Every structure is written in C-alpha cells, then in structure tokens.
C-alpha cells in the first residue's frame, strides 16, 4: 500500500479496525533492569505544582493533572494527536495516533493495557499505560503517571517507557521512522511535562481544564481529537498521509 496524498479526513473505520490488531511485540522480550537489549528505556519526571499535604485536594493540582492525562491533553498537537472515543472504558481503549513531522502524517495504533491507581509509601499515583499495535512504526509500552507526595504536597508527572523500531520492510516507512524518530520522541517527553504544568497553572488562575474536541464531521458517533487546540492547517491538505500496509 502506497502513501496517500492530499487531504485525508479521519475515517472512523480506521479507529474501529484497531480492535482487530494485536500488540506488536512479545512481552517475554521486554527489557529488564539487568538487560535492555535493543530497547530504548526512558524515565522522565516533571514538576507540576504543589498543593496542601495529605490526600489530593478536590479540583486541586493532582486532580487537575489527572484529568489532563486521562483526556490526552498533554501532547504537542504539532507533533502528535490522539483520536479516540471517550465513551469507551479507559482500560482497553484503542487510540489512533497521528504523528506529524513536516509534510508527513503517520497513523499509529495503540491500546490502553493497564491503569495505575495506588496509594503506597506516602504517594498517591494515578495513570495509564498503552502498548503499540500491529502497524505501528515502533514496538513498546508507555506509562503516564501523576504522583503526589502526601507529605510535601508536591505533584509530579512521570513518563516511563521502553521502545524500539518495528521491523517494517517498506523502505518508505523506515524512512518515516528515521525522521519521526528518537530525537522527536525525546522532545515529546520534555514538552509533555511542560504542557501539563502550564495547563494546571492556567486552571489555578481560573481557566477551564481543556477537553478533547469532538470531530466536526457530522457523523455524531463520539469520536474526539486531543489535544483540544489541534488545528487543521492548510498544510494538511497537501501532506503525505502514511498508513501501514493493509490497514
């Protein structure tokens, strides 16, 4: 299947088709503390804000950050957008990600495979994990967490991830991964923390917490695009839209 040229609206069947795809790596091959193999293993932590010590405050820093993470509002729309149905349960939810680099748009499927919801060792932590599906340019797992230190009130956003390139035979797709690769991945981690911090601070000043934007396509089946301020620029009309073979 060749890349498609021209403006391509999100076909909801693409999102629906993800339920027929499997995780694209063997969990037995995941990296361990002692052996990372050929995986990139990343941990990023960003300070979000501080509230009173003790349990999370209603509509406070921790709860606000959790809402932003739940709704996938922390990405840079210039690099990555998420398309999903918020009516679906978070656990098991399929998401169609649109990676963006220059004039190229990559469509990548992921599935939420775990929910983090714990209070232990003096920390209240909530978040979720997704794993890559067949057709993704990468293999791996990524976890987003919001962590409050109950003793100090400090709230941090944490990303834990491991990833590697998928064995994509098509040279065009391999080229796509090369330009939408490691440097952009690390940039994404950095900007995600900054964006959550900015959105939480804005909410503390009285601004509403952003919500995903419902697609204005008239289909009315509850598909949304996140983050909320994702524009559809003129460049999308002439972009190269890259889809996995057979997708």
Calpha distance 150→119 (Å, rounded): 9
What is the per-residue pLDDT across 154-177, written as a single tens digit (0 to 9) for each?
A: 999 999 999 998 876 666 666 656
pLDDT at 12: 76
Could you tell me if residue 145 is inside a domain?
yes
The number of domains in the chain is 1
CATH code at position 141: 3.30.530.20
Could you tell me if residue 232 is inside a domain?
yes
Could you tell me if residue 18 is inside a domain?
no
pLDDT at 111: 98
What is the per-residue pLDDT across 97-117, written as a single tens digit (0 to 9) for each?
A: 887 666 567 788 999 999 999
Calpha distance 122→150 (Å, rounded): 6
pLDDT at 167: 79
Is the bond into 227 cis (omega within 30 degrees of 0)? yes
Could you tell me if residue 24 is inside a domain?
no
Q: Provide the pairing of β-strand 104-120 with 123-132.
A: antiparallel
This prediction has a pTM of 0.85
CA atoms within 13 A on the CB side of 154: 9
Residue 194 lies in domain: 42-242
Could you tell me if residue 14 is inside a domain?
no
Average pLDDT rounded to a whole number, residues 210-237: 67
Could you tell me if residue 95 is inside a domain?
yes
Could you tell me if residue 36 is inside a domain?
no
């Amino acid at each position: 299947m060749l890349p498609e040229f021209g403006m391509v609206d999100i076909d909801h069947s693409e999102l629906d088709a993800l339920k027929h795809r499997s995780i694209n790596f063997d969990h037995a091959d995941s990296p361990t503390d002692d052996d990372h193999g050929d995986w990139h293993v990343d941990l990023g932590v960003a300070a979000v804000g501080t509230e009173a010590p003790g349990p999370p405050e209603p509509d406070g820093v921790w709860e606000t950050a959790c809402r932003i993470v739940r709704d996938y509002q922390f990405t840079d729309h210039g690099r990555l957008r998420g398309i999903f149905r918020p009516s679906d349960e978070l656990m098991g939810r399929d998401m169609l990600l649109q990676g963006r680099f220059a004039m190229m748009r990559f469509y990548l499927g992921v599935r939420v495979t775990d929910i983090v919801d714990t209070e232990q060792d003096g920390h209240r932590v909530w978040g979720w994990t997704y794993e890559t599906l067949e057709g993704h340019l990468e293999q791996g797992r990524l976890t987003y967490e919001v962590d409050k230190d109950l003793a100090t009130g400090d709230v941090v956003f944490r990303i834990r991830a491991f990833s590697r390139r998928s064995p994509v035979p098509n040279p065009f797709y391999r080229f796509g991964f090369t330009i939408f690769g490691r440097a952009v991945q690390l940039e994404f981690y950095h900007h995600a923390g900054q964006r959550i911090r900015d959105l939480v601070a804005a909410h503390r000043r009285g601004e509403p917490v952003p919500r995903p934007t419902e697609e204005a396509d008239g289909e009315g089946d509850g598909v949304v695009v996140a983050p909320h301020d994702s524009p559809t620029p003129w460049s999308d009309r002439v972009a190269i839209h890259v889809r996995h073979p057979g997708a």
